[in-house]
Amino acid sequence: MEILVCVKRVPDTAENEFELNSAGNDLDRGDLVYSVNEWDNYAVEEAIQIVDKVGGNVTVITVGDSESEEVLRREMAMGANNGILLSDDAFEGSDGKGIATILKAEIEKGKYDLIFTGAQADEGAGQVGGMLAAMLDMPYASLVNKIEMGEGKIKVGREIEGGNQEMNEIALPCVLSIQTGINEPRYVGIRGIRKVASVEIPVKSASDLGLAAGSVGKAGAKTKRIDYFVPDMGAGAEMLAGSTDEIIAKLIEKLKSKGGL
């Protein structure tokens, strides 16, 4: 079983105080602390668990600059066998379709049974997995929180509206976007990080992938961010005090006054 997991280096929401840049169209990224995208971590753990059961290899891949190598090594320290860095100045400013195009060019050079992405990345857009599947002409499932392996096909559970669970049978190869909660990602220790510190990670450029510079990056982007802002704080919630019966009575009166009843 050959599994490819797409990962991304993103600002760590637990470690940063976010501010906007002077243009107001992005975060000020100068002093941000970065880590691997949370959803991607679950995807890598699931890939490792599958390979532990059925055999094979896990490869992690990312599109980014030279600093993105750190998330590849982190996931290799976690248990992934190989890493691939897709890096070129021409990739900067790519939208979701551009990222999917870059990934597709490298994926087609290999032979993978499963391709995982995190359910969300790229500031929550969650679009790369679906676009990648369409470009590769492979079956696709999103928000996957359960995987059962089979012969030439798998069963996947999906989290859907209303807290319900949906099960699907999908032929291999396929693309899956993995939801948090599917597993518990393992701890990465210093020993694992040291073990992969000197492992060579191939770096592929646009020319290596056979991509024209104008087809990706800012030049090829069909979606452009024009604004980025923090919503104004609301007035906040009103807390109702008293016994249960008193709170219910107050709530009913407020609903009536607001036209809710």
pLDDT digits (tens, 9 = 90+) for 62-71: 999 999 999 9
Cα–Cα distance measured from residue 80 to residue 59, given in angstroms and rounded to the nearest whole number: 6
Judge contact between 36 and 83, C-beta under 8 A.
Answer: no
pLDDT of residue 27: 74
For residue 128, pLDDT over 70 is answered with yes
For the entire predicted model, the pTM comes to 0.84
Name the average pLDDT for the chain. Answer: 91
Burial 7-26 (b: 16+ CB within 10 A, else e): bbbbbeeeeeeeeeeeeeee
**pLDDT value at 123 more than 70:** no
Q: 104 — phi, psi (to 5°)?
A: -60, -40
Higher pLDDT, 161 or 109: 109
Q: Is the peptide bond before 173 cis (omega within 30 degrees of 0)?
A: yes
Short-list 104, 116, 93, CA closest to 5: 116
- pLDDT over 70 (residue 139): yes
**Domain spans, the chain:** 2-220
Dihedral class, residue 210 (left if φ above 0, else alpha if ψ from -120 to 50, else beta): left
Distance CA 120, CA 68 (A): 18
Q: Which CATH superfamily groups domain 2-220?
A: HUPs (3.40.50.620)
Task: Give the model confidence (pLDDT) of 214-230 as tens digits.
Answer: 899 999 999 887 887 77
Give residue 94's pLDDT band: very low, low, confident or very high (50, 70, 90): very high
